[in-house]
Amino acid sequence: MGVASSSERFHEVDAMRGIAVVMMIIYHVIFDLNFLGAVELDMNSPLIWLTGRLAAFLFIFLVGVSLSLSHSRRGSGCPGHYIKRGIRIFLYGLLITAATWIYPHKGFIVFGVLHFIGAAVIITYPFAGRRVLSVIAALLALATGMWVSGLRVDTQFFVWFGLKPPGFYTLDYFPLLPWIGIVLLGIFTGDTLYPGYRRRWKGKFPGRNPALEFLGKNSLAIYFVHQPIILAFIWFLMNI
């Protein structure tokens, strides 16, 4: 297969992101049912917890894969593109902060997945195209993150990094450590599987799934609208 044009997308990446969207929606339906008191569920039960964590892992891992693909397509001479994109996503995260400050207020989101992705895009794009460096940095970030997760400090100033005060509670929390290690693993994987913006493997790829690809291509928009829709629908059912 030749080098892909700038408009070509790898449908398997979109489909994987679509799977993450489906898992995210399932998890949030369960969370909202429990939050609104429609049902009583243990959100820390293995299956529910794993659904939420796996959705987050896929989203964040695919951020790295997408950075690798973008670097292969654009080259390393356009850092402004990644800085602008990172800032834009981070600002979207601040909108989520404002919304959760208004409702439900308790546990409002200070550094959730969008804050994290925005920061991670800016921090990790220099690693794209550097396989050895990205995997070493990933392992260091994951190991350091495991160590940091057990520490407690007397301020909330470093929650973005992974250092939390005792009793810290938030509805959505993805600190730089250890999660930036997952982005770096995604970059390593993208550089390995899609060198020069083409698939490394040959032969026929499994059949496409347009529905999952659509969800994957529109994951950011879906992230913004799905929670209000779910909450409104559950509230309506509880009050008819």
Find all residues with CB under 8 Å of 65, minimum gap 6, and list them: 13, 186, 187, 189, 190, 194
Under a CB-based contact definition with an 8 Å cutoff, are residues 109 and 171 in contact?
yes
The model's pTM: 0.92
Name the residue among 123, 6, 135, 117 with its Cα closest to residue 62. Answer: 117
Q: How far apart are CA 210 and CA 194, in angstroms?
A: 21
Position 2 scores a pLDDT of 33
Q: How far apart are CA 112 and CA 178, in angstroms?
A: 14
Position 83 scores a pLDDT of 95
pLDDT confidence tier of residue 1, bands split at 50, 70 and 90: very low
The DSSP symbol for 206 reads: P
pLDDT in tens, 103-135: 899 999 999 999 999 999 999 999 999 999 999
pLDDT in tens, 76-89: 667 888 999 999 99
Please give the C-alpha separations between residue 203 and each of 12, 70, 97, 120, 206, in angstroms, as whole numbers: 14, 24, 46, 34, 10
82-101 residues labelled b (16+ CB within 10 A) or e (exposed): beebbeebbebbeebbeebe
pLDDT in tens, 222-238: 999 999 999 999 999 88
